[in-house]
A and B are shown apart, each in its own frame.
Chain A
């Protein structure tokens, strides 16, 4: 849940990047970290294994500017994608304001994508959230790979409700900011509703 601080005139929101192992969640954050100016970002923290697989989470605090005199701050988290880290994923979803699902476009990863979306839905339910009601966008990553599935197929499988979706090549930054802006916008719109 967002944290509205009237004392320091700040609003803090939490965005979680979810998706199967090696889909590029950490790469999204790394690109944002590397391409955001110093004043707008804090330190990026990665709790990873020695082989650079996310073990617990990555964390990146960002300031986006002011709305009506309130500083808007977004805390970006990733979850560990590998199936057996489910307990950690549940913990990171606590207090989430919006979710980015990073799908791996490669045909071979389709089953992993589907499993991960289902896992996201279940884990959100456990925290009392409904995936259909919270701010949620999909990013189809790795669009540059030759074995990437057609967009239409990905949409049919992973996005039956037609939520906002973005094609991306995360290491090059393609689609990365577009995805971030879309989820931030949805979260702020949700706050406007006062829920």
Chain B
């Protein structure tokens, strides 16, 4: 079973900063991070007209499907996926085996540049997630929902 995924403000700021720098240095249009279950963690760039929730879910589905393919041929996973479109391209990579980094770029950048910058950003993101996981495992870092009452839950469904 996977551990509980938690995100705190401090780490969120660090992650967003890494993603923003990656978008800038790789000349990318959009960079986003998704967990393997399809939950969006962070997104930067021109995301106003983009359905990021759907993108996150489909990205996770895509990684899950190719991961299944990998296992069938005796690989652990395919850590990088690349989808080439007429205008925009998708570069998808798995970071530390737990989160998925997606970079959307067009002809203003190149696959080589994106790969180079992604590699550097991956190391940094990996460190942040390592720290985050340790923080979550500390006893007492309980769920904020530990104190909710049955009434709170009822109220959610009252309307």
Spell out A's residues near B (CB within 8 Å).
1-8, 11-12, 14, 42-43, 45, 47, 56-57, 59, 61, 64-68, 70, 72, 75, 87-88, 90-92, 94-95, 127-129, 181, 184-185, 188-189, 191-194
Contacts and interface: CB of A to CB of B under 8 A. Distances in A.
A39 to B, nearest CB: 13
Contacts of B53: 42-43, 61
A194 B146 contact: yes
Q: What class of interface size applies to chain B in its complex with A?
A: 35 or more
Contact of A3 (B1, B39, B150, B152): B39
Contacts, number: 134
B6 A6 contact: yes
A98 to B, nearest CB: 13
Nearest to B142: A194
A14 B37 contact: yes
A91 B64 contact: yes
B156 A68 contact: no
A100 to B, nearest CB: 16
B142 A1 contact: no
Contact of B54 (A2, A56, A59, A194): A59
Interface in B21-67: 35-39, 41, 51, 53-54, 57-58, 61, 64-65, 67
A188 B153 contact: yes
Contacts of B13: 7
Given A45-B57, A65-B156, A188 B142 contact: no
Given A6-B7, A68-B144, 15 more contacts: A1-B5, A2-B5, A4-B6, A6-B9, A14-B37, A56-B65, A67-B145, A67-B153, A75-B38, A91-B67, A92-B61, A94-B2, A94-B37, A188-B153, A193-B146
Given A3-B35, A70-B144, A95-B36, A64 B156 contact: yes
Interface of A is mostly: mixed
A43 to B, nearest CB: 5
Centre residue among A127, A184, A194 by max chain B CB count within 10 A = A194
Contacts of A1: 1-5, 37
22 contacts: A1-B4, A2-B4, A4-B7, A4-B143, A4-B144, A5-B12, A6-B9, A11-B145, A70-B145, A75-B57, A90-B68, A91-B64, A92-B61, A95-B2, A95-B38, A129-B1, A184-B156, A184-B157, A189-B150, A192-B153, A194-B145, A194-B146
4 tightest A-B contacts by CB? A95-B37, A7-B12, A128-B1, A91-B64
Interface in B116-158: 142-148, 150, 152-153, 155-157
